Amino acid sequence: MADDSLILKAEKISKTFLNPEGAVLNLLQEVSLEVRKGELVTLLGASSSGKSTLLRILAGVENPDSGSVRFTQLRDKGVSLALIPTGASSLPWLNVRDNVRLGINEGTGNGEAAIKKAISLTGLDGYESHIPANKSTGFRFRISLARALASDPKVILIDDALRDLNQERKIAYYGLLRGILRREGPGILYVTNDVTEAMLLSDRILLLGSKPGRIVKEFSLAKTGLPEAADLRKEDNNRIKQEIEAFFYAEVR
């Protein structure tokens, strides 16, 4: 029976590079994952474990050496996917509305309505004419997220876009993402190396080992709703956090 909730399925993705000395570096080894409607999956791994490369492969920006990526939710004009890179980007000479407009799929006929909805979902009402130059990282992330939402995506890929925020501000944006999941129902694949961030944000965590990058374990988390510290104190979640921290400690020894 077909899984109607499945949006993205990657199977046995592998990728190698040549280092400066000419030796082959096995960056990713047979990585498989799935993302479903309305869930937030975190790819949690150490620096240089291949997380960002994997995200670029999923987005079609980079090709794997082997393996496949399949999207099961297609539109007439193709796959609706949005990628938010590290250091969430915006064009500093365009105002908020025009930055968001860049995400519109041409020919859909609902451009202005989609822009208005995306701005509202991300809390940018009243800031439509503001220029993002010299704005905070969080503000620019909202613009990037609104631009992604304007395309009405089935899946959003986010590459550690909140890493420069302090913990208090991060939690506010976790709530924003969880709220969008609840109301709009896209799938989100989020990349981070922050264990606490993954615990607060995720429905599922995919733990990525390094050298080579491969998924070593998957965890499902008990959630109370919006991200809150109480989730970390749940017995099962606390056990998961300790197991993940022990894994990273062993990797860097």
The answer to the question of residue 117 being in a domain is yes
Quick one: CA torsion of 150, 156, 160, 163, rounded to 10 degrees? 40
Give me 87's structure tokens: 């250091």
HSE-up (13 A, CA, CB side) for residue 167: 8
- Yes or no: say if 103 and 82 are a contact pair by the CB < 8 Å rule: yes
Helix axes 167-184, 137-150, angle to 10 degrees: 10
Give me 107's structure tokens: 């020919």
The residue range of the domain holding 223 is: 6-73+154-252
Answer with the one of 153, 169, 200 that is the final residue of a domain: 153
Answer with the one of 153, 183, 201 that is the final residue of a domain: 153
Answer with the one of 102, 135, 153 that is the final residue of a domain: 153
Quick one: CA torsion of 232, 237, 238, 239, rounded to 10 degrees? -170
Q: Given the DSSP bridges, would you call strands 155-159 and 81-84 parallel, antiparallel or unpaired?
A: parallel
Q: Are residues 186 and 236 in the same domain?
A: yes
Ordered alpha helix ranges (H), the chain: 51-59, 96-101, 111-121, 137-150, 167-184, 195-201, 229-233, 235-252
- Yes or no: say if 174 and 196 are a contact pair by the CB < 8 Å rule: no
Amino acid, single-letter form, for residue 241:
K
Q: Which tens digit of pLDDT belongs to each residue from 186-216?
A: 899 999 999 999 998 999 999 999 889 999 9
Q: Are residues 120 and 213 in the same domain?
A: no
Long-range contacts made by residues 235-240, C-beta under 8 angstroms, separation at least 24?
237/199, 240/199, 240/205
The answer to the question of residue 139 being in a domain is yes
Number of domains in the chain: 2
Q: Are residues 148 and 167 in the same domain?
A: no
Q: Which tens digit of pLDDT belongs to each residue from 76-111?
A: 455 588 999 887 678 889 999 999 999 987 655 578
Q: Are residues 188 and 107 in the same domain?
A: no
Q: Are residues 162 and 244 in the same domain?
A: yes
- Yes or no: say if 187 and 155 are a contact pair by the CB < 8 Å rule: yes
Q: Are residues 232 and 192 in the same domain?
A: yes
Give me 155's structure tokens: 């899946």
Q: Tell me the longest C-alpha to C-alpha distance in the chain.
A: 56
Residue 1: per-residue pLDDT: 45
Q: Are residues 144 and 162 in the same domain?
A: no
Residue 204: per-residue pLDDT: 94
Q: Are residues 202 and 239 in the same domain?
A: yes
- Yes or no: say if 40 and 181 are a contact pair by the CB < 8 Å rule: yes
What is the CATH number for 196? 3.40.50.300
Q: Which run of H or of E encompasses 159?
A: strand 155-159
The answer to the question of residue 41 being in a domain is yes
Q: Are residues 209 and 222 in the same domain?
A: yes
pLDDT under 70 in the chain at which residues? 1-2, 73-79, 88, 106-109, 223-233, 252-253
- Yes or no: say if 194 and 12 are a contact pair by the CB < 8 Å rule: no
CA distance 137 to 165: 7
Q: What is the pTM of this model?
A: 0.90
The answer to the question of residue 82 being in a domain is no
